[in-house]
Amino acid sequence: MSTLTNFVGCVKNNIRSKKSYVDVAFSLLIEKCLIILLNEGFILGYNQLNTRTFRVFLKYFKGRSVINDLNCISLPGFRKY
């Protein structure tokens, strides 16, 4: 399983559990995705806890997550993010 797929799964599981944050593994690709999510207003922010972990602060509006769905779209032999 790729780190990006693991990231998406962790975020979706923590949104369902109404958690305020999620800890995910460090990756430069995940950091670029977090920058996009932050700039678009889907997360409150993120911190790098150590050299291997990010803490992502999830955003809610009126008790509902602002992220409705998050998916990795890929084809065999070709990854789309």
- Closest to 50 in 3D by CA, of 23, 18, 81, 13: 23
Q: Is 23 helix (H, G, I), strand (E, B) or coil?
A: strand
- Give the pLDDT confidence score for residue 53 in this predicted structure: 94
- Give the pLDDT confidence score for residue 4 in this predicted structure: 84
- Per CATH, which fold does 3-69 belong to? Ribosomal Protein S8; Chain: A, domain 1 (3.30.1370)
Q: How far apart are alpha carbons 41 and 44 in whole angstroms?
A: 7
Q: How far apart are alpha carbons 2 and 5 in whole angstroms?
A: 5
Mean pLDDT by 10 residues, the chain (81 residues): 83 92 93 94 94 94 89 72 60
- Give the pLDDT confidence score for residue 2 in this predicted structure: 76
Structure tokens at 78: 């070709």
Which residues share a beta bridge with 55?
Answer: 23, 47
- Give the pLDDT confidence score for residue 43 in this predicted structure: 94
- Give the pLDDT confidence score for residue 79 in this predicted structure: 66
